[in-house]
Structure formats: structure tokens, C-alpha cells
């Protein structure tokens, strides 16, 4: 069930997306809300920062985590002007955000040149069949840090 408040948050994400385009960024915006108020807002700044990870959702998650002093955004909702790409969706899951609202979907994004579907399709393939191959290398040496983590008693699990 959507409420007027949900629509208000989404309108803010959409406003941020439009503002981003005017500044030279991509057409994406996001806000994160908790307990009835917006705690973070961000827009896409990939081209502005020369950073392919500077998507609105990722930037918004970073801001929300700083604002709340935690890596766990349970109890929060994210409002994105577009269905999150696979990277952003992964970040949303890692942050434990409770609910995702979006306006445009990945098909709408594809129509203007953002082909998130390509990445969604690649994820479903075997690593050796992907356009950019994933090649294992030095696994035995790499496992050392995993053993250290496993044995560490005072770690912060996430």
C-alpha cells in the first residue's frame, strides 16, 4: 500500500534525477527514509565524478550509513527514480534495506541507453560464458585472509 508520504519521497527522488541531468549527471535520484523522515538523498554523479560506481542508490546508502553511524539500514526504505541496476540492488541487499520503491523500470532505462538488462543476463551465465570472463587465480594464497577472518574472535560480522 502506498501512501501520500511514499509518493512525496518518490517525487523527491525524481526531482533529484532531473536536477542531476541539469548538472550534467545521469537521470537517477534516490532517497532513503526511516521512521517517517528522509535521512539521505543523492543523485547519479558517474560522469561528474568519473566514477562508474557513483550511482544514486549507492551514494544514498553511503550517506544514510554515515548519518545513522551504522552499516545496517534495517528499518529503512529506499525510493529510486529507476529500478535499481544489479550493482545497486546488491548494495541495497547488503545494507539490509527493508523495501525498495522505484518509478521507471529497467526497460524504460534501456530505451534511453542504459542497458541494465545486459548485466542481469550476464549474472545468470556461468563465469566462463560471460562477456568479461571470471578467471580463478591463486585461490590457495587467497584463502589465507579468509582463514584469518574465520579465526578472528573480535570481528564485526556483516
Q: Catalytic amino acids?
A: 57
Angle between helices 56-68 and 4-23 (to 10 degrees): 120
DSSP 85: P
* Residue corresponding to grid cell 530505451: 111
Calculated CA dihedral for residues 18, 24, 30, 31, nearest 10 degrees = -90
- Dmax over CA atoms of the chain, in Å, equals 54
Q: Is-contact 98 9, C-beta < 8 A? A: no
By DSSP bridging, strand 99-104 and strand 37-43 are unpaired
Amino acid at each position: 500500500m502506498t501512501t501520500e508520504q511514499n509518493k512525496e519521497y518518490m517525487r523527491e527522488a525524481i526531482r533529484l534525477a532531473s536536477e542531476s541531468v541539469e548538472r550534467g549527471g545521469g537521470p537517477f535520484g534516490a532517497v532513503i527514509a526511516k521512521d517517517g523522515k528522509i535521512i539521505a538523498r543523492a543523485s547519479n554523479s558517474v560522469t561528474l565524478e568519473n566514477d562508474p560506481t557513483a550511482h544514486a542508490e549507492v551514494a544514498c546508502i553511503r550517506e544514510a550509513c554515515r548519518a545513522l553511524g551504522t552499516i545496517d539500514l534495517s528499518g529503512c526504505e529506499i525510493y529510486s527514480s529507476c529500478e535499481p541496476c544489479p550493482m545497486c540492488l546488491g548494495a541495497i541487499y547488503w545494507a539490509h534495506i527493508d523495501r525498495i520503491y522505484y518509478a521507471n523500470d529497467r526497460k524504460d532505462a534501456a530505451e534511453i541507453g542504459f542497458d541494465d538488462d545486459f548485466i542481469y543476463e550476464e549474472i545468470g551465465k556461468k563465469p566462463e560464458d560471460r562477456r568479461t570472463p571470471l578467471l580463478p587465480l591463486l585461490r590457495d594464497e587467497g584463502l589465507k585472509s579468509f582463514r584469518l577472518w574465520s579465526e578472528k574472535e573480535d570481528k564485526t560480522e556483516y
